[in-house]
A and B are shown apart, each in its own frame.
Chain A
């Protein structure tokens, strides 16, 4: 019963974007009903893949936005959640879509399904910020690099790939609108960078996370803090706990940034 209520709540969280309405309208007046139904079905199944695994890990889903290149599932969660959980959530979307595709193709081969499946999958794997590819890139770089730098790397990669795509000659209205949407998303992410990094630190100050691994950082450099680790800062010959530094930062300062 509880699970049923969660699913009902998720239904209320679905928002349909105006670009999707535009594509729907265009599909109806040009008579591409079948294309549109297959396209939407693939997008919804992709999103369900993310959502089911998120429910399994008990992540809080805030909003699901349906767009004409795929969906966007927005979580209201800590930035310090385990990398493995987020990785599973990112991977299960494309995995579920591919599973559905294999089943459907076994039953009845269809060119439209094949075309849309592979193109949606490829597009969502591009490292541009709201897409799955960027999340994947961010998580992989988080394994090696500090949180701040991996976030910046994801943003720079997004800019590079976007510029690369724009250099192609695009003569499609809908694709152009999608690219504008993505550009604005990347810019807003760039502007939010310092707030996101601050959130990362502030969560560690507010809550006690149980990380299993630890790291030593020379000097008090908060920018070098890793995800999934707790830290000791080495000043001279003494080690200072991460918590003390954060308490100093947030207790004594009037302005948080």
Chain B
């Protein structure tokens, strides 16, 4: 049994075993030839099989959507839970990545073995003149067209327009906090990039930079983070 398991998992092949299999096949063929006068059950045509498979899948999807919709309409507490976990919470890639790398090394072999000489070097800390509250987060007064560095290492999970904050990049940090960097142009990162602490994120449009700190949909106090 263990031999079979190893064979399946590591595609271990031993020619002696292969020959045994071939002998079995030949024996089966001989048996079939002996029973050739018996009628053989004809299988269904291939095309209908494929068609039925797809129809089944579509039906299952429709069923699941209908059931969730019925529950959402009928049960208000379910609606709240659904809204919280589907719309507000993010799957914490950065947290799992940090945990995994700490114990088992990188999940893809050969990651970061060479020195990075291609991406330009930029290692700064956030500098600002004034902080004040702005909507959910903070408004920092900085230089005109200030080059914004990343506060803490994380993964980029959103790039786009957020109505009241203008152009926004959201970075999910390994401690589970989502940081919104808003009012940016010339964004230097792409979606699902891992960005390091101090690397270049983008440029501010004027002399304002908006930051928002969120965790699982609840807004955090910005004073603890800057």
Q: Which residue from A110, A115, A178, A185 sits with its C-beta under 8 Å from B112?
A: A115
Contact A175 B109 (CB under 8 A): yes
Q: Check: A103 CB closer than 8 A to any chain B CB.
A: no
Contact A29 B96 (CB under 8 A): yes
Q: Check: A17 CB closer than 8 A to any chain B CB.
A: yes
Contact B97 A30 (CB under 8 A): yes
Task: Give chain B residues whose Cβ lies under 8 Å from the Cβ of A30.
Answer: 93, 96-97, 100-101, 107
Q: Check: A9 CB closer than 8 A to any chain B CB.
A: no
Residues of A at the B interface (CB closer than 8 Å) are 17-18, 23, 26-27, 29-36, 39, 65, 68-69, 109-111, 114-116, 118-120, 123, 171-175, 178, 180-181, 184-185, 188, 191-192, 195-196
Q: Give Cα distance in the complex from A13 to B96, angstroms.
A: 35
Q: Give Cα distance in the complex from A65 to B10, angstroms.
A: 11
A119-B114 contact given A18-B9, A29-B96, CB 8 Å threshold: yes
Q: Give Cα distance in the complex from A175 to B110, angstroms.
A: 9
Contact B93 A29 (CB under 8 A): yes
Contact A171 B192 (CB under 8 A): no
Q: Which residue from B12, B113, B114 sits with its C-beta under 8 Å from A185?
A: B12
Task: Give chain B residues whose Cβ lies under 8 Å from the Cβ of A188.
Answer: 12-14
Task: Give chain B residues whose Cβ lies under 8 Å from the Cβ of A181.
Answer: 10
Main secondary structure of the interface of B (DSSP, over half): loop
Q: Which residue from A23, A109, A191, A195 sits with its C-beta under 8 Å from B108?
A: A23
Contact A17 B100 (CB under 8 A): no
Contact A171 B105 (CB under 8 A): yes
Q: Of all chain B residues, which has the CB nearest A116?
A: B110
Contact B192 A184 (CB under 8 A): no
Question: Can you report 25 residue pairs joining A to B where beta carbons are below 8 Å apart?
Answer: A17-B11, A29-B93, A30-B96, A31-B96, A31-B155, A32-B97, A32-B194, A35-B108, A65-B11, A68-B109, A115-B114, A119-B110, A120-B110, A171-B104, A172-B106, A173-B104, A174-B105, A174-B106, A174-B107, A180-B10, A185-B12, A188-B13, A191-B14, A192-B14, A195-B16
Shortest B64–chain A CB gap in Å is 21
Shortest B17–chain A CB gap in Å is 10
Q: Give Cα distance in the complex from A172 to B13, angstroms.
A: 26
A172-B114 contact given A185-B10, A188-B13, A192-B15, CB 8 Å threshold: no
Task: List 11 additional contacts besides A30-B96, A36-B108, A184-B12; criterion CB under 8 Å.
Answer: A26-B100, A26-B108, A29-B100, A114-B118, A115-B111, A118-B114, A119-B109, A119-B114, A172-B105, A181-B10, A196-B15
Q: Which residue from A31, A109, A114, A115 sits with its C-beta under 8 Å from B192?
A: A31
Contact B109 A178 (CB under 8 A): yes
Residues of B at the A interface (CB closer than 8 Å) are 6, 9-16, 93-94, 96-97, 100-101, 104-114, 116-119, 155, 190, 192-194
Contact B119 A174 (CB under 8 A): no
Q: Of all chain B residues, which has the CB nearest A109?
A: B118
Q: Of all chain B residues, which has the CB nearest A31?
A: B93
Task: Give chain A residues whose Cβ lies under 8 Å from the Cβ of B190.
Answer: 34
Q: Of all chain B residues, which has the CB nearest A195?
A: B15
Q: Give Cα distance in the complex from A116 to B116, angstroms.
A: 12
Task: Give chain B residues whose Cβ lies under 8 Å from the Cβ of A39.
Answer: 108
Task: Give chain B residues whose Cβ lies under 8 Å from the Cβ of A191.
Answer: 14
Shortest B166–chain A CB gap in Å is 26
What 4 A-B pairs come out closest when comparing CB atoms?
A: A31-B93, A172-B105, A26-B107, A119-B110
Q: Of all chain A residues, which has the CB nearest B114?
A: A115
Q: Give Cα distance in the complex from A171 to B104, angstroms.
A: 6
Q: Of all chain A residues, which has the CB nearest B110?
A: A119
Task: Give chain B residues whose Cβ lies under 8 Å from the Cβ of A35.
Answer: 108, 111
Contact B96 A172 (CB under 8 A): no
Task: Give chain B residues whose Cβ lies under 8 Å from the Cβ of A185.
Answer: 10, 12
Contact B118 A174 (CB under 8 A): no
Shortest B82–chain A CB gap in Å is 22
Q: Give Cα distance in the complex from A39 to B111, angstroms.
A: 10
Q: Which residue from B15, B94, B104, B118 sits with its C-beta under 8 Å from A31?
A: B94
Contact A174 B93 (CB under 8 A): no
Q: Give Cα distance in the complex from A128 to B93, angstroms.
A: 35
Q: Which residue from B13, B105, B107, B116 sits with its C-beta under 8 Å from A23?
A: B107
Task: Give chain A residues whose Cβ lies under 8 Å from the Cβ of B108.
Answer: 23, 26-27, 32, 35-36, 39, 68, 174
Task: Give chain B residues whose Cβ lies under 8 Å from the Cβ of A173.
Answer: 104-105
Shortest B89–chain A CB gap in Å is 15
Task: Give chain B residues whose Cβ lies under 8 Å from the Cβ of A119.
Answer: 109-110, 113-114
